[in-house]
């Protein structure tokens, strides 16, 4: 009797349709219960504390006759800007925040459902169907991905990163390059898959991969630059012009604020690009951090032994983490990109615990700690400075520890199938 029950349970958990039904319905019911609204100037519901209200206000510029990358600039590549403008146009003259937030969140749910399936697909290919299915269930019950679909567009970034990676390990290089190029038009990080193409493909194939990604990325940006270079350039340079924030580099520089830009109306004037993001200059220049990250990357590149599919995934993961560690800033929503790669590279209890700890530290930092800076204009002061520093250091140590684990994975010699 027990064996039959276990067999039924195994069949139940292996049902992809059931996984999708539970994954999607949980998030839809969350939306029904916690509908996003702004009441008397206070944001409430599932999207409270995220960036949707700012997206809505920015998209409102389109209703005033200002087109994205022509009438207003964005600190992100173009897909996000045109997406929020398109949703605003779809809603028409009677658009309100609640409708906008629900539509945008539902779109992010579509992308995150894709992430779930990609985790299952990549995990099954790397570790077998049972493990791949287990990883998908673990992802489905994790809190951070569920929150991020109502806070930010990071699930879309993770989707193109995973989609490009999945195509690469299946040998669909041209398709992977296209997805990486499209992902780079959402945020730059999906382009990091190019590093794996350089390491795991011949020179000719790697050059073709780069050419395809660059063509996808360059054609879109070329058209936007021709149309209005002044409003397009900030999307390429804005993130690198900000003072340090929420990193060990920020602690060294004495910057205890977030890396937000200015108000929505600032986006009508590219000369106001850096007026909303203030802080002390870098003690360690960005070029030094980038050079150090490059040297570490070259060391990993040269020491890699594992040239199988798991090695490819691990190489992308360590490339992404090295990039995040050298960056002058940190955003909690980046865990949406990191968590799937942790699960895929470390399909063990320790890997799951690492993912949970990273999520816990991220949410302890924001919103738990940052919400207490309302009286100081979003600046950590007084008794908040010490816990803030502890959280930043703890998160950095977790990311460094993951890099060490990934490096060890890349130094392993793959075991031939059947042994």
Over the stretch 302-337, which tens digit does the pLDDT of each residue have?
999 999 999 999 999 999 999 999 999 999 999 999
Confidence of residue 40 (pLDDT cuts 50, 70, 90): confident
Confidence (pLDDT) at 9: 54
Confidence (pLDDT) at 275: 65
For 332-344, what is each residue's pLDDT tens digit?
999 999 999 999 9
pLDDT value at 417 more than 50: no
| Residues in the chain, total | 419
Beta-carbon count within 10 A of 82 CB: 17
Which of these, 117, 92, 90, lies nearest to 103 by C-alpha position? 90
Largest CA distance in the chain: 73
Global pTM value: 0.95
pLDDT value at 18 more than 90: yes
User: How far is residue 42's CA from residue 369's CA, in Å, rounded to a whole number?
Assistant: 19
User: How far is residue 419's CA from residue 415's CA, in Å, rounded to a whole number?
Assistant: 7
pLDDT value at 419 more than 60: no
pLDDT value at 3 more than 70: no
User: Tokens standing for 11?
Assistant: 């069949």
User: Tokens standing for 311?
Assistant: 């090695």
Mean of pLDDT values over 123-131: 96
Contact 221, 234 (CB under 8 A): no
Mean of pLDDT values over 29-49: 91
Residues 6+ apart with CB under 8 A from 414: 306, 307, 308, 310, 311
Which of these, 392, 391, 338, lies nearest to 119 by C-alpha position? 338
For 334-372, what is each residue's pLDDT tens digit?
999 999 999 999 999 999 999 999 999 999 999 999 888
pLDDT value at 127 more than 90: yes
**C-alpha distances in angstroms, 50 versus 260, 270, 371?**
13, 25, 12
More confident position, 123 or 376: 123
pLDDT value at 7 more than 60: no
For 131-164, what is each residue's pLDDT tens digit?
999 999 999 999 999 999 999 999 999 999 999 9
The DSSP code sequence of 73-131 is --SS-HHHHHHHHHHHHHHGGG--HHHHHHHHHHHHHHHHHHHHHHHHHHHHHHH-HHH
């Amino acid at each position: 009797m027990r064996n039959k029950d276990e067999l039924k349970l195994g069949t139940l958990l292996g049902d992809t349709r059931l996984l999708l039904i539970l994954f999607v319905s949980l998030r839809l019911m969350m939306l029904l219960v916690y509908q996003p609204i702004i009441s008397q100037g206070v944001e409430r519901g599932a999207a409270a504390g995220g960036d949707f209200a700012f997206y809505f206000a920015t998209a409102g510029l389109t209703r005033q006759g200002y087109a994205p990358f022509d009438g207003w600039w964005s600190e992100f590549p173009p897909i996000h800007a045109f997406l929020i403008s398109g949703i605003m146009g779809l809603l028409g003259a009677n658009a309100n925040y609640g409708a906008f937030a629900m539509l945008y969140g539902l779109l992010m749910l579509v992308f995150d459902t894709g992430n779930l399936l990609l985790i299952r697909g990549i995990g099954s290919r790397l570790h077998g169907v049972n493990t791949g299915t287990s990883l998908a269930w673990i992802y489905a019950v994790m809190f951070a991905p569920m929150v991020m679909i109502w806070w930010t567009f990071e699930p879309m970034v993770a989707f193109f990163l995973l989609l490009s990676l999945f195509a690469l390990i299946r040998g669909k290089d041209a398709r992977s390059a296209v997805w990486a190029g499209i992902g780079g038009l959402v945020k730059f990080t999906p382009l990091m898959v190019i590093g794996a193409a350089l390491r795991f493909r011949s020179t000719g194939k790697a050059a073709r991969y780069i050419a395809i990604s660059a063509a996808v990325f360059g054609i879109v940006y070329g058209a936007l630059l021709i149309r209005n270079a002044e409003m397009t350039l900030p999307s390429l340079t804005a993130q690198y012009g900000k003072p340090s924030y929420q990193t060990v580099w920020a602690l060294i520089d004495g910057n205890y604020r977030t890396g937000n830009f200015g108000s929505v109306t600032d986006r009508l004037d590219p000369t106001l690009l850096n007026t909303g993001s203030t802080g002390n200059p870098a003690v360690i220049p960005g070029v030094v951090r980038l050079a150090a990250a490059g040297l570490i990357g070259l060391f990993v590149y040269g020491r890699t032994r594992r040239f199988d599919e798991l090695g490819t995934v691990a190489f992308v993961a360590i490339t992404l983490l090295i990039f995040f560690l050298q960056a002058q800033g940190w955003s909690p929503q980046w865990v949406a990109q990191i968590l799937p790669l942790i699960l895929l590279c470390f399909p063990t209890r320790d890997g799951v615990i690492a993912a949970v700890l990273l999520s816990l530290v991220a949410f302890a930092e924001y919103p738990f700690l940052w919400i207490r800076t309302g009286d100081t204009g979003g600046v950590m002061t007084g008794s908040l400075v010490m816990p803030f520093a502890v959280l930043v250091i703890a998160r950095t140590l977790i990311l460094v520890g993951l890099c060490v684990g990934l490096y060890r994975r890349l130094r392993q010699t793959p075991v031939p199938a059947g042994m």
